[in-house]
Amino acid sequence: MKKAVIFLIGGGLISSPTVLKAQKQTTQKTIQDIESVEIQGRLNHEATTIPRKTLDFIQSNTLGETLRKIPGIQNSGYGPNAGAPVIRSLSGNRVRVLENGMSVNDLSGISPDFNMDIEMDNVQSINIYKNSASVLYGGKAIGGAIDVETNYIARQLSSKKFNINALLEGGSNSGQRQAFSAKGTLAKNWVLTVGASNQKQDIVRIPGKSKDSRCYDPNLVGFNSILQSLCQLNVDSRNVLNISLFPYISQFAIDHMIEYELSQDDLYTFSPTYYNPSDGKYYPNPKNDKYISGQDPTKDRYRSEVNSINDIVPQKDGVIPNSHSESNSFYIGTSYIGKSFYVGGAYQNSYSYFGVPGYAMPKMPAHSHGKPQKKIEYLPINIKSFSHKAMFESAYKFNNFPIASIKLNYMGVFSKNMELLDRYKANQFTIQQHNGRLEIAQQKLKFLTGTTGVEVQYRDMEGKGSQRYLPNNISREIGIFTMQHLDFNFLELDLGYRNDHVQRRAEADNTYKRSRGLSGGNLNRRDFTLNQLHAAAQWNIFKKAYLKVQYNHSERAPEVNELYSGNNHFAILTEENGDDRLDKETANTIEIGGGLNLKNIRLSANWYHTNYKNYIYLAHTGLSREVFLVKEWRSDDTEVNGIEAEAAYKIDLQKFGKWEIGSYYDLVRNISVADSSIRKWSDGDYMPNMPTSRLGFSLTGSIQNFSINVGLDHYLKQKYLGKNINPELPMPAFSLLNARIAYEDNSLKIGTIEYYISGSNLLNTEARLQNSQLKFLSPMAGINISVGVKIKIS
């Protein structure tokens, strides 16, 4: 189990940011020989903890791609350079991403082309809450939370005077990466931390074409304007009469075609006879030799005839278009660490610039008034971000006092986040965000431990640019929470409660031009009061097994884009319309699970069921203006349920090494339970773009100085399909094979050197995530072989 920070109390209290975890793990024990993903079967929100050593194997450029191997979690996959974690089909504004317990600048819920404000090379471990973590972190954790622990602020004195880590890596399909970090003792109690990282890649290669082959099927895209938009195509098509529908040809039309100026629509008929007015008699019509029986006279009367299908921008086989990326970051921090307290601060900045595999117009073409239309210009969509963070952290441990410890955190985020067309700024969000969190842990009273705290957040978003889709806005949040844990050894109980107050304010100005749609209504000020509740019980069976049940009542306030958006959002090719009348979301979740932990075998399984009231989603209206689909934020009742199961077997083969074989399976369904004919027409019985079921296998081992990791993940073909007005198309099933081999040289007196080679998508499979909004434009990256060296000096 992860060690506590300096103020950990011997009486059984726990450390922040995960202060609400029970210190005692009764049902599972950490594998010391193989540092794999640690699934902790315990109360206070089941947590999955990923240590740094495991991150070395699974780390990718984005947080979503890094975590996609965890059961229940998938990657949003908005191209190769932007990916947010999807927890049990929920993401964006329902999954809170934190850094050392503090909310980061996460704009992916507002626009999925933005990446998470997390520098992966500075991450020491990641704690994942797959059920609602709203008692811990508020309403935006209604679907779970990701808490990333970084090394910016030292919380403990090191046994070594200094530690230096350096990384050099190059890949055949992942570019190059360098990282550096150092930690040293300046004086008796002062510690300094400093680090930097850099990454660059010019292009991402794939095994075939970037666009799905169905984009060029005339039977699919001919008159499906939404699929044409998703595939970014220009389709020249028309409706023609389906002559195979009619069993007869009208003899009367044949005889009088020129005389009466008849058309092809008059030539074919369902009638076996025709009336001749010259003699008042009926005569047989000739049969149509192209007739095909069994067709619907109404639906099949016309068929599409496609003359041409062309990409709006020419594509090149074997590469994802506009898939470049570059980023760099720097941090410096210092801490004073005493016997009973510590205090520290840090500064971190980061820069990123990357492409999205899609194109948009700089501006809509004006009406030509009969003159020749100018050629429409489409430019690549790029993202550029600058971020500065100021961090402060302090904790104090008490002795012989009712309060065991107190901790204070602050993080300020100041960033500019731009959506570009090529290098021209289309819109920009300037963010000022301030977060504060105070936690008080009480002294242990026999079997009772607990933590109480308060959290505040202020965010100011100011927009600029000719293609703004949000007005300036301000959000304020304050929450008070408590979590109490009762430990009777064989039985553990949890009870937690939180109360939040949330304000959303829109501040429209003269530079913000709204669309013709709903467009945020009247941009009314909104205030929300949220109540969060967590209750759980776990029965520990002879320290070998456990059974648990937990209940969560969670509430979430609508985000500013859901309330106030109102313009063409070119990055998602949508005219996005918020609704300032939306009510808060309410979710009630029951989860039942159990596990077995014998000497060499670990088994666990969970079943969960969530009922959402006023589930907010972006719905099709069936309208389109120019190339933009018109969508509105709506709310309806929804049900989410699924299962997750894991198994692992550990074996010690002596001189042949220590090994662990693992496997997992997960399934999730997001189902509409509202009696809404509009939703069934526009989005279907299931939410579209839902994660598919998966199963995976892994082999992890060490032999002498070598460590080996192999993973195989198989994504099934989606059975639970929604609609995008038209029925959703399932992506084909696929498998991803990854491997890493490392050798650690311990012969150096001052440290160690690790040499490694790793491979991803070794089968070079064309892999398209069902839940990706860009699945028709961009598959996952093709085969990549990376080599690198890690140097540790202490």
Residues 6 or more apart whose CB falls under 8 angstroms from that of 529 comprise 499, 500, 501, 502
pLDDT value, residue 160: 80
- pLDDT over 50 (residue 27): no
Q: What are the extents of the domains in the chain?
A: 38-208+316-364+377-712+722-793
pLDDT value, residue 46: 65
- pLDDT over 70 (residue 12): no
Mean pLDDT of 115-133: 89
pTM here is: 0.86
- pLDDT over 50 (residue 52): yes
- pLDDT over 70 (residue 209): yes
pLDDT value, residue 259: 80
pLDDT value, residue 531: 98
Give the burial string for 578-604 (b: 16+ CB within 10 Å, else e). bbbebebbbbebebebbbbbeeeebeb
pLDDT value, residue 39: 34
- pLDDT over 70 (residue 40): no
Residues 6 or more apart whose CB falls under 8 angstroms from that of 182 comprise 162, 163, 164, 165, 192, 193, 194, 195
Q: Looking at per-residue confidence, does 607 or 47 come out higher?
A: 607
pLDDT value, residue 15: 33
Q: Looking at per-residue confidence, does 265 or 786 come out higher?
A: 786
| DSSP characters over 228-294 | HHHHTEEEEEEEEE-GGG-SEE-HHHHHHTTTTT--HHHHEES-SEEEETTTTEEEEPPB-TT--TT
Mean pLDDT of 344-370: 82
pLDDT value, residue 509: 84
Give the rounded percent of residues in the chain with a pLDDT score beyond 90.
Answer: 64
The alpha helices in 658-699, defined as continuous H runs, are 677-682
**Which tens digits make up the pLDDT trace of 144-200?**
999 999 989 998 888 788 899 999 999 999 999 999 999 999 888 999 999 999 999
**Which tens digits make up the pLDDT trace of 732-753?**
999 999 999 999 998 888 899 9
Mean pLDDT of 701-713: 95
- Under DSSP, the state recorded for 364 is P
Q: How far is 12 from 27, CA to CA, in rounded Å?
A: 17
Q: What angle do CA 692, 85, 155 make, to 5 degrees?
A: 145
pLDDT value, residue 371: 60
With cut-offs at 50, 70 and 90, classify the pLDDT of residue 409. very high
Mean pLDDT of 532-550: 94
* Of the ranges 3-17, 252-266, 282-296, the best mean pLDDT one: 282-296
Q: What is the token pair recorded at 419?
A: 């959506």
CB atoms within 10 A of CB 525: 13
Structural element, H or E, at residue 175: strand 175-185
pLDDT value, residue 367: 52
- pLDDT over 60 (residue 393): yes
Cα(first)–Cα(last) distance of the chain, in Å? 24
pLDDT value, residue 304: 75
CATH 2.40.170.20 for domain 38-208+316-364+377-712+722-793, yes or no, is yes
Q: What is the dihedral of CA 285, 287, 288, 290, to 10 degrees?
A: 170
With cut-offs at 50, 70 and 90, classify the pLDDT of residue 17. very low
Q: Mean pLDDT over all residues of the chain?
A: 88
- pLDDT over 60 (residue 707): yes
Mean pLDDT of 393-416: 94
**Which tens digits make up the pLDDT trace of 489-506?**
899 999 999 999 999 999
Q: What is the dihedral of CA 152, 156, 157, 158, to 10 degrees?
A: -70
* Of the ranges 252-266, 358-372, 571-585, 693-707, the best mean pLDDT one: 693-707
Q: How far is 211 from 226, CA to CA, in rounded Å?
A: 15
- pLDDT over 70 (residue 10): no
Q: Are strands 190-201 and 325-337 parallel, antiparallel or unpaired?
A: antiparallel
pLDDT value, residue 8: 28
Strand pairing partners for 742? 707, 756
With cut-offs at 50, 70 and 90, classify the pLDDT of residue 370. low
Q: How far is 90 from 275, CA to CA, in rounded Å?
A: 64
With cut-offs at 50, 70 and 90, classify the pLDDT of residue 538. very high
- pLDDT over 80 (residue 31): no
- Given a contact cutoff of 8 angstroms between Cβ atoms, the answer to whether 33 and 465 are in contact is no
With cut-offs at 50, 70 and 90, classify the pLDDT of residue 372. low
Mean pLDDT of 633-653: 95
CB atoms within 10 A of CB 527: 11
Closest CA to 129 of 41, 48, 20, 72: 48
**Which tens digits make up the pLDDT trace of 560-592?**
999 999 988 877 778 899 999 999 999 999 999
**Which tens digits make up the pLDDT trace of 611-621?**
999 999 998 88
Mean pLDDT of 501-516: 89
pLDDT value, residue 30: 33
Q: What is the token pair recorded at 109?
A: 């819920």
**Which tens digits make up the pLDDT trace of 67-93?**
998 999 999 989 999 989 999 999 989
